[in-house]
Amino acid sequence: MVADFLRETQWLLWMIAALVLGLLELLSFDFVFSMLVIGALAASGAAFLGYGFTVQVFTFAVASILALVLVRPALRRWIGRRTPEVATNADALVGRTALTLAPTTGRDGQVKLAGETWTARTADPGAVIPEGVDVTVVRIDGATAVVAPLPARDTPEKESA
């Protein structure tokens, strides 16, 4: 009796597995579980057509592997083209202007960056940047801003009349 029930509802069990895998995909957004959903749906189709459990598992495995190899890379490329690359966290600070709060050398210093006080050092180990000078952030090393003087601006000289 139980064996007959399981045999008749195997397609539904595969659909439940697809639903659970789909929910897991919502947590990861890596398209791996989505490919397993494709495999579970294929196995559900095989169960609905009356194939045995061995064929269903084989169908699940083959469909999942094919989806992982063929569909997932194309899907990731497509998403990558449509999603702009946005710098976040420390990467978003690179290129920003900061103000030195203390003389800054290749070993130590402080800057005001994005409203916060950061430890800093110069990108050129021999350089010394005095206090109160605007600098640009070259990179972030851990919790230290590596800075360099702003490039000199070309200012037209005033002509005397």
**Domain boundaries along the sequence of the chain:** 2-82, 89-149
pLDDT of residue 87: 64
CATH C-level class of 89-149: mainly beta
pLDDT digits (tens, 9 = 90+) for 89-99: 777 888 899 99
Rounded to an integer, what distance in angstroms lies between the CA atom of residue 120 and that of residue 67?
48
Q: Is pTM, for the whole model, over 0.85?
A: no
pLDDT of residue 159: 47
pLDDT digits (tens, 9 = 90+) for 82-127: 777 766 677 788 889 999 999 999 899 999 998 889 999 999 888 8
pLDDT digits (tens, 9 = 90+) for 45-57: 999 999 999 999 9
pLDDT of residue 125: 86
160 in Cβ contact with 110 (< 8 Å): no
Rounded to an integer, what distance in angstroms lies between the CA atom of residue 88 and that of residue 70?
31
- Average pLDDT score, the chain: 88
